[in-house]
Structure 1
């Protein structure tokens, strides 16, 4: 759900916020219009690309999947270009400097943070709108899909990139909101310890509530198949996960996955796509559930959090050393240090202290991306192996037959991922289908 492009979008925005100055060099209205113009221009570019794709490909039914895959590639390229354009949209236009200036003038940090992400949110909404109109014009009647773009738009808002963006932004906005509350209730002089406690409290609330509100957004509902529920309850009892809930998602042809959602056991849920349940037989579905159970038994949630903690500590260390260095330079330089700190670059960027922050942010981001990708891929392969072990222990049809469990999981992966070349390739957080099948083949040997 959270693609590399989306993750980079959020990180780039936060880095821009750190390095932006607070001395605008443009009028507020001009900064707003410039940022809105860049956003709208990217949205129109995607619409023009979609129209060109419609005019250059036949409208017959067999090419529906080809057109849709081409549009996804165009979308991926445009979103990658947007990430690279973000510094221009947020800094060179003066929008970021105005946000920081207004925040220093007692604008709530929560509202200022929303302002930083508003251009990206608007662009994604424009892209989803164009994609929904594209769906209306290209979906064959034989697929029995709704024929109005408004319905397609609602489906894309529910199952597209908006949930992923909101999921990533919720902790950031929660920390900003609790920081504002701390300023209002404790005053400007409250200690760093209080701020740390408020941050921990906000993250705790987010981690406990995300499965609830995200499930409502995606349209989850309790599983209705008695046979599936009976097997799930049996496995849940054997694995000692009494509070785990089984929910299904109506994918409307757009989600046929499975996922364990929730960091804390009390609010943890297993989500299965209704399309997935329809496409797999009982043994294959058992192996998909065992794979998700393995993420819990092997504590992959915490392993995946280590790169985040490490990147945060690296950024904190860089900022601390940077401030200590600048303080030393300021003492030696005397009054000249003010001019060093206030040396304005285009868009209100300050030097050299923000450049130190930029270096720290860049290093932390690179370490974070590499760490998250490595940890996620290793965890996926480990979950595949552990799923076979759990199946031997808890599935009556797999007792004493680990090779059969591995074969059934391999068949399930092929059924889920073999529809297109895009789903078979390695992604930021998942190894390739070939790699996973080779991993399972070693258990069958």
Structure 2
């Protein structure tokens, strides 16, 4: 799922490099609006169809949930084609440079480019909320649907979209003043680094809905993080209304680092299991997996930039020059997806292994932590199985995440 959100956002922004066309922007907006409306109708018809079959007893609730999940998954990937149709086919993303208020603002252009993707994601989130309400596991009503949809936006792509638009807005502000001409390129890159280090953790705490965590649990978690080698880290509980098992660590340095644990994860896992999940996240920080992932993407974007610059040479045909930006973006996107696959798998395996090795040392300073490496492996395996219990899809490998069985086999090799 994370790959889908990444592709939807990056694909939308990349389509801003399409060559200009003579298509009417007003017609592009109209056709895009019709596609989005039809998409929302389709999402709600899917809810009505599956929920109706369950209500009539024609299918079992478990089977119905599985049908709806598979159907929604297909819709998500199909929406990428509709995003391409709206921005490229209808021309919504091809004439932004000719609009009076938008042509000089990268931030406003990015907002327009993201409209089809966000609208289609919102349709799916609203459909999921309505389905949950029909099944009696969520509140009914349009207000409940809207709040659930907004919450999904905040916790899924909000943390990705907000810094992109914010950074582009800063570029717009600088470019509109004389200061922009006086700032050297190296200073701009330094400023970007500062924003990433200090801004992303703050954004995570603001974007993800949170709830208070009791002092005893918070102190215990903090002691594990500190004993694991992360001296300063803010502990935050993610309020998912007891719906999600998840954990993540954001930030690169000291006070700007935050550990996010979902409420259901803290509630459902035994302390020894939770300790291993925490150490897994600590291992990501200790092994610098986030900066490594970012660094690994540099060749992909240099490759795309190189292709774009090469096609801009006079030796190429006019059509190649016109499409240079688009072809460069496509190459960068493909290379990024391939590199992320390789890096993500290895960082997950590495974090599991490091967490198991850390546990014995941490247990000497903290209670309820596995005291031996074999016990640490058993508790981590148990935690992985517990958080995916009842959801076969969550145990299968995805493009950016290895399967549960593969992870367990990697850190708990069979005894000869």
Q: Where do residues 120-269 of structure 1 align in structure 2 (5 Å cutoff)?
A: 120-139=117-136, 145-158=138-151, 160-186=152-178, 190=181, 194=184, 197-198=187-188, 201-202=191-192, 204-226=194-216, 228-269=217-258
Distance 1:87 1:148, change over 3 A: closer
In structure 1, stretches of 5+ residues that fail to align are 330-339, 342-350
Distance 1:37 1:147, change over 3 A: closer
Distance 1:67 1:19, change over 3 A: same
Residue 280 (structure 2) aligned to one of 273, 286, 291? 291
Residues 168-203 of structure 1 deviation map (CA, whole Å, 9 limit, x = unaligned): 223432332122112210389x48x74664465246
The match for 1:117 is 114
The match for 1:335 is none
Q: Where do residues 12-411 of structure 1 align in structure 2 (5 Å cutoff)?
A: 12-21=11-20, 23-26=21-24, 28-58=25-55, 63-102=60-99, 106-139=103-136, 145-158=138-151, 160-186=152-178, 190=181, 194=184, 197-198=187-188, 201-202=191-192, 204-226=194-216, 228-323=217-312, 325-326=313-314, 328=315, 341=318, 351-396=319-364, 401-411=372-382
Distance 1:47 1:298, change over 3 A: same
- Cα separation, 2, equivalents of 1:437 and 1:93: 47
Helix, strand or coil: the match of 1:97?
coil
The match for 1:332 is none
Helix, strand or coil: the match of 2:412?
helix
Which structure has greater helix proportion?
1
Offset at residue 400 of structure 1 (A) = 6.1
Offset at residue 4 of structure 1 (A) = 1.5
- Cα separation, 2, equivalents of 1:104 and 1:443: 63
Contact 1:393 1:399 in 2 (8 A): no
- Cα separation, 2, equivalents of 1:245 and 1:222: 13
Offset at residue 272 of structure 1 (A) = 1.2
Residues 105-154 of structure 1 deviation map (CA, whole Å, 9 limit, x = unaligned): 844221122111112212222322232222211125xxxx4344533542
Residues 254-302 of structure 1 deviation map (CA, whole Å, 9 limit, x = unaligned): 2221111223432111111121112111111111111111111111112
The match for 1:11 is 10
- Cα separation, 1, equivalents of 2:374 and 2:382: 12
Offset at residue 30 of structure 1 (A) = 1.6
Distance 1:375 1:244, change over 3 A: same
Say whether 1:434 aligns with 2:402.
no
- Cα separation, 2, equivalents of 1:104 and 1:223: 46
Helix, strand or coil: the match of 2:259?
strand
Q: Give the structure with higher Rg (CA).
A: 1
Helix, strand or coil: the match of 2:242?
coil
Distance 1:322 1:439, change over 3 A: same
- Cα separation, 2, equivalents of 1:196 and 1:88: 38
The match for 1:347 is none
Distance 1:253 1:222, change over 3 A: closer
Offset at residue 29 of structure 1 (A) = 2.2
Contact 2:360 2:370 in 1 (8 A): yes
Question: Once structures 1 and 2 are overlaid, which stretch shifts more, 277-286 or 86-95?
Answer: 86-95
Contact 1:413 1:433 in 2 (8 A): yes
- Cα separation, 1, equivalents of 2:107 and 2:285: 33
Contact 2:39 2:123 in 1 (8 A): no
Task: Count matched residues.
Answer: 413
- Cα separation, 2, equivalents of 1:147 and 1:69: 21
- Cα separation, 2, equivalents of 1:79 and 1:398: 40
Q: TM-score, normalised by structure 1?
A: 0.84
Helix, strand or coil: the match of 2:305?
helix
Q: Which structure carries more relative contact order (alpha carbon 8 Å, separation 6+)? A: 1
Q: TM-score, normalised by structure 2?
A: 0.90
- Cα separation, 1, equivalents of 2:130 and 2:145: 8
- Cα separation, 2, equivalents of 1:187 and 1:281: 55
Question: Once structures 1 and 2 are overlaid, which stretch shifts more, 172-181 or 269-278?
Answer: 172-181
